[in-house]
Amino acid sequence: MRRGRARKAKILALAIAALVLVLGLAQLLLPGIAADTISSRIARHGRVQHVAVSAWPAVELLWGSVDTVTVTASRLTLTPAESAALLREANGVARMDVTVGSMREGPLQLGPAWLRKRGSELVGEALMSGAAVAAALPAGLAVRLVSSGDGSVRVRASGRFFGLLGSVDAVARASDGKLVAEPVGAGLHGLRLVLFSDPNVYVQGVGAVLASSSPLSYRLSMTARLR
């Protein structure tokens, strides 16, 4: 009897030791593997400098749960659809911080840019120069920031409209999870341009402030949540 109990106790001790060893190796190796995977995916769109991943216990990574992710990239070039796709992949990340030195989002040249994710909530900020604003607009059209507040941005566009020189105010804001732009003025009610829309990203608001007058630059921001 005693030998049988001793054997069972020894087997149990070995099993516990093996489990501890496996969990220890997972804690040591899985975050690095996850960081390499994230780095390779983002590197398709530019140059990644550093990615760090943490999870406790690390076996959570096998089910797509991550505590924190930190990404530093020197340069990225993405379409709005590609940005939304990367955000969808980060749905299981509880806390994420991304810093990009220079970023091109569709026709917009931004930089530096920052993204913060806490749970499902997203906050993005970026600097945009006056020259980059002009380069993203059609020839002969100029835009000036008028005001920003309550999750919307008002600008004044000046140039040639329908063959006539003039100016018109427009407001960029969130509407039903989309980022839209609407002209302000008599006879323009009902016109709307959708700037960004994705079924998995619900836009909550946008903002813009003057960052510098010489050289001219703006700090843009957007709040959203993943759904």
Q: How far apart are CA 142 and CA 160, in angstroms?
A: 10
Going by pLDDT thresholds of 50, 70 and 90, the confidence category of residue 107 is confident
CA 64, 43, 218, 170 dihedral sign is: negative
Domain boundaries, the chain: 1-118, 120-227
Question: Mind listing the pLDDT tens digit for each residue in 150-170?
Answer: 999 999 988 876 666 678 899
Residue type, 26: A
Partners of 66 in the β-ladder:
93
Q: How far apart are CA 25 and CA 168, in angstroms?
A: 62
Q: How far apart are CA 211 and CA 9, in angstroms?
A: 69
Question: Mind listing the pLDDT tens digit for each residue in 42-90?
Answer: 999 999 999 998 876 665 655 567 889 999 999 999 998 899 888 888 8
Q: How far apart are CA 19 and CA 154, in angstroms?
A: 60
